[in-house]
Amino acid sequence: MFAHSHTRSRRHTGERGQALVVMVGVMLLSMAILAVIVDGGNVVTQQRVAQTGADSTAEAGAIVLASRLAGAATPTGGWDAQVLSKVTSTATANKVSVQAAYYTDICGIPLRSNGNAALNADGSENLATAMQVGTGGLPGGNATTPDCPSLTVGPVAGVLVIGQKTVPAFVARAIGIPSFNVTMRASAVAGYLQGACGSSQGSWCGILPIAIPVNAVTCDGSNNVALGSTAWTWNTVLTVPLCKSSPGNVGWLDWTPPAGGATEIVCSIVNADNPAVVLPSWQYVAATGNTNGGGSCTDNVTGISYKGVEDAVRKYDGQPVLIPQFDMTCRTSNSDPNPTSSQPAVNTAPNFGCPNAPGGGSGQNIWYRMPSFADFVLCDPSMDGCGGRYGAYMSGSNQAECDTGNGATSCLVGKFVDILNSGTVGPGVGSGTGSKTLGVQLIK
């Protein structure tokens, strides 16, 4: 009996040991599942944040190249140093670590220092041979006409950023994993805008200092603005009403605040003088609602004189123009700083870079946040669907042309045909003497 009891005791001890092993295994499995849920979810969230930071960093470098393309003076230290500075500062602001940044052409193809494609024989990237930002110069070569499908490279026009963000672990820390590294990449390029705004010689889009809401608006029976909740209809001739002065209505922009104001509007329309406009960014509004201010201005190219805002806008009748769109307003006082358009503040709720709570306000010191540019084809009396109307009625006495059942007496007439909602937009000159419109766009 003693021997039988001893055998039984050893069997019970073994069973307890097996149960302990199983229990530890279950605990580790549970911890692993919890780590996947908690830390995995956090990594996915932080990866989206990091991608936004990488996008902004690539765009910052491409914006510098857009300035170069527009003919700006070479900055102190050279273009490469300026690109490096913008890439570094933007990455820091977005809490992203730049592992490497490379120059590309407008197709996003990485370039060698001699301007050739940094590609393998099969067309895949060979970043080991690509020229990095911060090496003292820009890629050289004589490339002029890129062709993306055939991988024929053009001149330097973009920046490829490979970034990284360290995400601290929560549950996984208990099993010896303190953090996760999230890697992302983004490419942004600068060039002359294609599509509705042609980039060929003599074909271009004027940028009007007129901001319209992202969503459609109407005027009420008292000619005050009635804000809408749906976007404008595209590729259909519309009447865009200009109601009475209101910060939620059309805004007339002053590109160089606060001097000049409304008196500069006509010349800003006739001879586009806007700076590069980053999307999104805050822009100063000289006047809201309908206006006839601005006096007269002579076209620098044709010598034709235009008097008043209505006459100036009609210069572009039958043509596409770029019109900034806004999605919120910011009211500042004389003691407030200007709204900040830098990343990530301009995209961060609740103030989006405004020193006060966005919205409301009247009178002076109104700013609009611009997330996009719309390609808008202004009507000409001979165009189909325009009903014999011009593209602009701004005298305040055109109810017959502008009234859509709400009493509007001033308006723009035309149709939305395209939209640009990433990068920057500014005036530039390509080959020949025709003005072009520059843009910066994320491509991958």
First to last CA, the chain: 79
Work out the percent of the chain whose per-residue pLDDT is above 70.
Answer: 77
Continuous segment of H or E residues that includes residue 282: strand 281-288
Distance CA(341)–CA(324), nearest Å, equals 15
Q: Which of 21, 417, 99 is nearest to 232 (CA)?
A: 417
Q: 368 near 282, Cβ under 8 Å?
A: yes
Which residue did the predictor score with more confidence, 75 or 430?
75
Res 432 pLDDT > 90: no
**Rounded to the nearest 5 degrees, what angle is found at the Cα of 233, between the Cα atoms of 231 and 234?**
115
Which residue did the predictor score with more confidence, 291 or 195?
291
Tens of pLDDT, residue by residue over 297-308, are 898 888 999 998
Continuous segment of H or E residues that includes residue 267: helix 265-270
DSSP letter at 234 equals: B
Which residue did the predictor score with more confidence, 24 or 267?
267
Q: Residue written as tokens 């990433």? A: 422
| 3-class DSSP assignment, residue 18 | helix
What are φ and ψ of residue 322, in 5° steps? Answer: -95, 125
Tens of pLDDT, residue by residue over 400-419, are 898 877 777 888 999 998 87
Residue range 91-102: average pLDDT? 92
Work out the percent of the chain whose per-residue pLDDT is above 90.
Answer: 30
> CA-CA distances (angstroms) from residue 146 to 105, 107, 199, 236?
8, 7, 14, 34
Res 381 pLDDT > 70: yes
Residue range 105-113: average pLDDT? 92
Tokens of 126: 């060979």
What's the pLDDT at 434? Answer: 41
What's the pLDDT at 205? Answer: 66
Domain assignments of the chain as residue spans, ordered by start = 26-191, 206-442
Residue range 13-17: average pLDDT? 54
Tens of pLDDT, residue by residue over 163-215, are 988 877 766 676 677 777 888 999 998 876 554 554 443 445 678 888 889 99
Q: 312 near 304, Cβ under 8 Å?
A: no
Tens of pLDDT, residue by residue over 114-138, are 999 999 999 899 999 999 999 999 9
Tens of pLDDT, residue by residue over 225-266, are 777 788 899 899 999 988 876 667 788 888 877 666 666 888
